[in-house]
Amino acid sequence: MTERARGTIEVTALRIEKTDVGAATAVIDAELLTLVVRPRGGQEERPLRLKLAAIESAHLSGDRLALALRNGTHVSIASPEAAALCDGIFARCRALPEMTRTLRAFGSRRGRSSVRETEAAEQRRFFSGLMDARRSVGAETLETVEASAMSAIAAFDAAALTRSLDETLHAFAVERHGDNGPARRALEAELIDLSEPLRAALQLLAEAAAEAESAPHDLRRWRAWALQLRTVFETADRAWFALDAALDASTSPR
């Protein structure tokens, strides 16, 4: 997002539904788009505050930005800096929320009495696919807000995350049972069964990603994808408790 989008943006024409409101200024903060309507005939300035969470779509055409709100209201904003305003809205509306703050298992031994010295390292390996994707989103710098959003979706590719999960569970079984085929396969099958809720959540993430990618200006679809991504993290957190217990009960790694 440009630096200019963080300050006041001049609006040459503001239209709400079929009403021409007139000139205004626009300011974006963390939660609101505030449009201050310039007075006519000695009237006082009138601020119009739109919650960013209520904006369902934003379409830019030249110097005009069209917003659709959750309550069905349509707002048209004409400005020489309409692109910067659009970027500012998308940058805030499509910022990824914190995913790990509320997790109980990740980075913690609360509620567990694991006997394995390898528990912490194995937990990091289990979560590594998700955490690597999260770090890549935070580290990447792209030229446009839209590219950044699509890059975030691509980073959390559900198929790649599922492959990473399969490889990790297979490695856990091999490390415990090596060439003992029946024991190795039995443990791997148990771990796969215990991780089934996570697999289902990843499948739903793939479906939400396809929806969001098909309509990049539709913030409803982006929010649905982000919500499902949070669900994936929370499901992985719950799955680890079950996997951790199964790994404790299995033969210790060689």
Q: Which residue has the higher pLDDT, 247 or 99?
A: 247
**Alpha-carbon Rg of the chain, whole angstroms?**
24
Sketch the domain layout of the chain as residue ranges. 3-93, 119-249
State whether residue 116 is helix, strand or coil: coil
More confidently predicted of 141 and 114: 114
For residue 139, what are its two tokens? 């580290």
Indicate the pTM of the whole model: 0.85
Q: Which of 99, 119, 118 is nearest to 109 (CA)?
A: 119
Q: Residue 111 pLDDT > 60, yes or no?
A: no
Pick the CATH number of 3-93 from 2.30.29.30, 2.40.50.140, 3.20.20.80, 3.50.50.60: 2.30.29.30
In Å, the largest CA–CA distance within the chain is: 87
Cβ neighbors of 23 (< 8 A, separation 6 or more) are 10, 11, 12, 13, 14, 37, 38
b/e per residue, 170-187, with b = 16+ CB within 10 A?
eebbbbbbeeeeeebeeb
Across the beta sheet with 32-37, what order do the strands follow? 46-51, 32-37, 19-28, 9-16, 74-78, 64-69, 55-61
pLDDT digits (tens, 9 = 90+) for 11-32: 999 999 999 999 999 999 989 9
